Every structure is written in structure tokens, then in C-alpha cells.
Structure 1
Amino acid sequence: MESVAPASQSTSLSKTSTSSATQATASATRDNNLALGNPSGAVASTSYPSNYLMTKSQYTLSYNRDQGKPNWVSWHLSSAWQGSTARQDNFSPDATLPSGWYRVTTSDYTGYGFDRGHNCPSADRTGSVADNSATFLMTNMMPQASVNNQQTWAGLENYCRTLVSAGNELYIICGSYGKGGTGVNGYATTIAGGKVTVPSNCWKVVVVLPEGSSDVSRITTSTRVIAINTPNTTSIGTAWGAYRTSVDAIEAATGLDLLSALPLSIQNTLEAKADAGATN
């Protein structure tokens, strides 16, 4: 389905006054979805079918043709991306995949006991029908256990939007890795006749800043970064805060280089820490 500010600031930011939040909203912009770096060095070339770069207005991703799901999806979230557009629920194959590549359909998930789990959430892109519809492309989906998707994962998504309402902007990167998860119909390693890999883990990294410009240059060693790594299983706990970890740990598990656009000294400090801030 559809994670913040420096830990020392989290309380005050969540209690931003209505007037200051309104001012922040007025200055909010839609910024570069890949501003913090390309985690896998993905390239928009069919020579790299397991690390194929897809750049959309709403988010950027590395698609894995052989697994039928993204390796990672990266997006910016501010109030400028939000509006009153209803959830479209128009799951559809991604026609922008290269010719000859299999295009996963919504029915490929039918009967296997896993949700069509959004990487970039529907509720993060409500500015227009086109924006919301983009989140329902199957290249933005992963087979996700329902308890994870609808409760744990959704809880972090909702918290992210609460932070935006308080006058922040976020950079979010998420994805999945491993093979084998447990849905309502039991354990599986693939679905759709082997065309889609069921991941063992789903992870997310969130960088939180007060609204402003020149975002990358404003990230410091005290910026709040939330990283979670959740098992893809029905037995997962509902509190997302229990699954916090470090960016370093996610990189070790995935082989990705996250937050690579930041100066190395800042990366090293931020990526070594596990968040201990508020969770609601």
C-alpha cells in the first residue's frame, strides 16, 4: 500500500501552528524525485533488465524485469503533491516498459494471497487524476503480505503525511529484496507462474526537512532519517516503529548505495543511526 525532521525537532514540528503550516504549504514545491541519488546506478537501457531506470513525473524507479517488480522507488513528498483527487484504483500494466518485456497485470496477483502493495502510495499523489493513476501502474507494485501492507506499512505512510501537514517535505526511497514471503494463503517464492518474485523483506528510508529550497544542501548530520526493514509475513507486528533500523543495515542487505548525493561525511553519520523519534 500505500515514514522525519531531526529527532530533537520532531515534537515541535508535529505541533507546528496552523499559521506556520499554512505558510509552509504556500511555499511548497514539487522537487526532484531522485534528488538523493540513484541507489543502484540504474540505467534506462534494455541491456540492464534487472536494473532498468524508469523516470516518471510522479516517482523514479529501478525495475527488475526478471522479478516483475521494482528494486526501489524514490519520490519527493510535500503539500504541493497533494490535492483532492480520489483514489483511482485503476491498476494497470505499464505500457512504457520496453517492447517484448512481460508487463505484469493486476490479475497476476489474483488467488495468491498477497496484496498489490504500492511502493509510492496512492495518497501521496492526489494532485490530479494522472498523478494518482501513476501510482497504480504495476511497475510500482510488490507482492506484500496484507497485514504488512494494510497496517504496518500504512501506519508509516500515514505518519509521513502527518509530517507533511506539519510543514515538512520528505524524500522517500523504498523497495523490497529477498525471495519468499507468507501471505494469507501461505508461503510462496513467486506468483503469476514465476513471473513475479515474492520478496522476503520490504524496506523504506525517509528523510525529513522543513519546507525550503536547495534541499540537499540543507541536509546535515542532525537531519532526521527514518529507516525500517519489515519481514513480508502475516505475523508482522502492526507498530512500524518496532522495525526501525539503520540505512547502513539496509544497504548491507540490498547492496544499494542510498543517499549517495550527500557528502560522504554526512552520509556516514546519518546512515549509521537508527531513528528513535516519535511514531505518531
Structure 2
Amino acid sequence: MIPQPGGSTTNNTQPTRDNNLAMGNPSGASVGDPNNYLMVKSAYTLSYNRRRGIANWVSWHLSTAWKGTVRRGNDFRADATLPRDWPVIQTADYTNTGFDRGHLCPSDDRDGSVEDNSATFLLTNIVPEAPRHNREVWKELEDYCRNLLNGSNELYIIAGTTGTGGTGSNGEASKLADGKITVPASLWKVIVVLPVGSNDLQRVNSNTRVIAVNIPNRQTAADKPWYAYTLSIDDLERRTGYDFLSNLPADLQQILESRIDGGVN
């Protein structure tokens, strides 16, 4: 480990539950913008888009402190914390559409308590996802992230959507539920990998591993492994208009965001 200036020289090696938005707010989300609406949950933080009916992104911390043996709840439901005059997205809006109710923050990343797991089934954390995308290539990436915990790592993850129009089991679609829900063209993810410790922001350095992917929301995306879709964070920023890892020093962002991870370490 190479500590940054001002960082602690000692580390807590006991996994903890840390700030879900520690690496920064990539879109500058706030409660004043209905299409970039900041929602802070105990299990994750997200930016919701009223016009699209889905999240722009969801950010969460993952360590073994979040893990447990709670069973998957499957209690998909509307998010009652949205403003009352906004369109309500219901589970039935996804029925027979040819798209899965796909998680951004996965259920299996939050099985340490019933409350945490239940939070992942709020429809503000759900997007229309091509079935093979959801059950194969995206799931493989989710499993890969959780397997990294076995190496005494912790992760900071941001996942989101961009573009309009995907291909599900019924063919192409751009909108669901009479236009209430936008089908994204792709799902992306940024992953920061750190050894378990404390003072996480101060411990990110030029050798820190970062992974970025952008996977088309199509059935055929599953014909390739997830690491076939890796790209640099710089490239992902150009595609999304977001500023990832914004809480890190600018010179460190420049180094980390220019790399493309091989995805097979």
C-alpha cells in the first residue's frame, strides 16, 4: 500500500460498512432536480430520473460486512419515498414486456439483513434488462465482484444506464408501460477494488485496480464474457457525461481513469 498525503499509516483490517457514495456523486444529483434526483438509502445511494422512470445510477460499498445468509426477498414494489405527484412505477409495468426487472445494486450484495435485501427490490433500483443480459453476462460480473471479497478486498461500485432502446425476448423496445419506463441501450458499471482497511479515499493510489464496463442491453450481449466489454473510465465518462471518482485528487483520477482493465485477474 502507498498511502496518500494526509492518509493514515495504520489500517483497520476488520471489514466494515462504509459510505456508499464515498467515491463521489458522478452526476451532481440533488433533491432539486427531478431527472437527477438524489435518494440516500441505508443500502445504497442513487440518482433517479423521473422522465425515464429508472435510475441514472446506483452507488454502493461492498465488503463481507454487508454479506450474510438472508434469503432473497423478491418483494418488488414501488418506492414510496418518491414525491407523491410523480408517476408511480409498479411491478406489473414489467409484466410480459420481454424484459427482466434487473437490479443495479444486486440482491446478493445485500443479504446481511432483511431490511437491506428488501431495499434492493424497490423499483427505483430496477431497470428493464434483456433476460440473457440479466441472467448471464451481468450476473457473471456481479458474481466476479463478490468473489473478489474472498481475497480480503472491499469494493466501491457504481452501476447505471445510458441511452434508449434495448432488445428483450419480445424484440426491440424503447419504452414500457405507455411510456412511463425507458428501456436503456446499455448498462454500465465502475468498480474500485481495495484491500480491506480504513480511510478508504486516502488509500486509493496509482496502483489501485479499477474496472469499467459498458454492456449493450441486448440478448446477444451474453454471447461474450463480461470482460469483453471493458473500457476506460474516461471513455465511459464521454458516453454518459458523468464525472466518476470525483472525490479523488484530479491527478489521481487522470491516471486511474485512462486505463482499461483486462478483467481476468
Q: TM-score band, normalised by the shorter chain? A: over 0.9
Match of 1:182 in 2: 167
Larger relative contact order (CA 8 Å, sep ≥ 6): 1
Match of 2:27 in 1: 40
Per-residue deviation, residues 204-255 of structure 1 (Å, max 9, x unmatched) = 0000000000001100111000100011101112410100001111110110
- Between Structure 1 and Structure 2, the one with more helix by share is 1
2:42 is equivalent to residue 57 of structure 1? yes
Matched residues in 1 for 2:125 and 2:176: separation? 16
Cα RMSD over matched residues? 1.3
Give the residue type in structure 2 aligned to 1:137: L
Matched residues in 2 for 1:266 and 1:146: separation? 37
2:136 is equivalent to residue 151 of structure 1? yes
Q: TM-score, normalised by structure 1?
A: 0.89
2:229 is equivalent to residue 243 of structure 1? yes
Q: 1:258 aligns with which of 224, 244, 247?
A: 244
Match of 1:30 in 2: 17
How far is the alpha carbon of 1:189 from its aligned partner?
0.4
Per-residue deviation, residues 87-125 of structure 1 (Å, max 9, x unmatched) = 000000000001111121111001110011100000000
Match of 2:104 in 1: 119
Alignment of 1:98-113 (within 5 A): 98-113=83-98
Query: May I ask how many residue pairs the two structures share in their alignment?
Result: 254
Aligned-partner SS, 2:70:
coil
Per-residue deviation, residues 175-211 of structure 1 (Å, max 9, x unmatched) = 0010000000000000011000001011000000000
Matched residues in 2 for 1:213 and 1:246: separation? 27
Matched residues in 2 for 1:197 and 1:30: separation? 32
Extract unaligned runs of 5+ from structure 2. Answer: 2-11
Alignment of 1:155-174 (within 5 A): 155-174=140-159
Matched residues in 1 for 2:132 and 2:210: separation? 24
Q: Does the CA contact (< 8 Å) of 1:112 and 1:191 recur in 2?
A: yes
Matched residues in 2 for 1:186 and 1:277: separation? 30
Give the residue type in structure 2 aligned to 1:53: L
Match of 1:216 in 2: 201
Give the residue type in structure 1 aligned to 2:238: A
How far is the alpha carbon of 1:277 from its aligned partner?
4.3
Give the residue type in structure 2 aligned to 1:87: R
How many percent of aligned residue pairs carry the same amino acid?
A: 56
Q: Does the CA contact (< 8 Å) of 2:230 and 2:263 recur in 1?
A: no
Alignment of 1:221-232 (within 5 A): 221-232=206-217
Matched residues in 1 for 2:20 and 2:208: separation? 18
Matched residues in 2 for 1:221 and 1:243: separation? 23
Per-residue deviation, residues 13-59 of structure 1 (Å, max 9, x unmatched) = xxxxxxxxxx95xx1000000000000100013xx110000000000
Matched residues in 2 for 1:69 and 1:238: separation? 26
Matched residues in 2 for 1:193 and 1:40: separation? 27
Q: Which runs of 4+ in 1 moved over 4 A?
A: none
Match of 2:257 in 1: 271
